[in-house]
């Protein structure tokens, strides 16, 4: 990937900090699936007097580091929000640079991802993407099928509402075909028609930057998800922040509408 040398220099200080370690409680309660809204790339670049695409390149470099932390901590799945269905509204030059970055990321890190045991998967309206991007997705999925250290799921041209509408349309088609009766429909029927029905719901969503919202990300899957926000832009999100998120997650009680052990007496 043609990552400008300036960005490498800016990222090096971030990598030197090893950060805190996982608590015993966290090591016993590692989330199976962590999702990330990779927010703040453009602002990161603007603060440094760089063009917005430089921030996206820095964010891609940080994703590579993030995958290593997930493997180190024993996390099985991570879903990252790379490009939303709303991002087409951005300037054409920025959209084009994001598509180019997608292609360059896999060209640069294909061998490294293979060595790390990372399986690549994608969710979203991928059929609407440029053919070169679709071809790269297909190759990445096919070549990484047997890897089992980490499933990296990239939400690209993804929208949570669009996913639910797509699943609902599939359900309506099944009802129309007589395969299901409307009164028989359950949550499981809809879940089975989402983009990647075999992937478990995330346990934790992390959002760097100062925004405190889901932004149309994994809406169906987030009914009982834990949220963690960091006041740091994604390219500056480091192992210390990730460790803090996992430690905090492990300290919470996930009751799913029930009672805690203390409340049950």
- Residues serving a catalytic function are 39, 87
Distance CA 112, CA 44 (A): 26
Spatial CB neighbours of 97, under 8 Å, sequence gap ≥ 6: 52, 53, 56
3-state secondary structure of 51: coil
Distance CA 40, CA 8 (A): 17
Give me the helices (H) in the chain, please: 5-16, 24-27, 41-47, 52-73, 92-116, 131-143, 160-176, 187-191, 239-251, 261-264
Q: What is the DSSP string of 127-160?
A: GGS-HHHHHHHHHHHHHTTT--SEEEEEEEEE-H
């Amino acid at each position: 990937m043609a990552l400008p040398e300036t960005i490498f220099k800016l990222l090096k200080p971030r990598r030197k900090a090893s950060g805190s370690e996982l608590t015993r409680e966290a090591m016993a309660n590692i989330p199976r699936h962590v999702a990330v809204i990779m927010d703040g790339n453009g602002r990161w670049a603007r603060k440094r007097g760089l063009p917005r695409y430089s921030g996206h390149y820095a964010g891609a470099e940080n994703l590579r580091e993030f995958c290593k932390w997930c493997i180190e901590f024993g996390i099985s799945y991570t879903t990252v929000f790379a490009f939303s269905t709303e991002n087409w509204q951005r300037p054409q030059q920025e959209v084009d640079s994001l598509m180019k970055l997608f292609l360059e990321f896999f060209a640069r890190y294909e061998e490294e991802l293979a060595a790390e045991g990372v399986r690549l998967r994608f969710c979203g309206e991928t059929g609407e993407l440029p053919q070169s991007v679709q071809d790269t997705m297909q190759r990445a999925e096919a070549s990484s099928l047997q890897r089992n250290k980490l499933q990296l799921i990239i939400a690209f041209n993804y929208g949570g509402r669009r996913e639910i509408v797509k699943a609902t349309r599939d359900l309506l088609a099944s009802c129309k075909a007589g395969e299901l009766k409307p009164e028989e429909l359950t949550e499981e029927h809809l879940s089975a028609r989402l983009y990647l029905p075999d992937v478990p719901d995330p346990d934790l969503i992390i959002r760097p930057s100062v925004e405190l919202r889901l932004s149309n990300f994994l809406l169906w899957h987030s009914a009982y998800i834990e949220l963690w926000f960091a006041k740091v832009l994604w390219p500056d999100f480091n192992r210390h922040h990730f460790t803090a998120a996992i430690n905090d997650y492990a300290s919470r009680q996930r009751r799913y509408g029930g009672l805690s052990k203390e409340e049950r007496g």
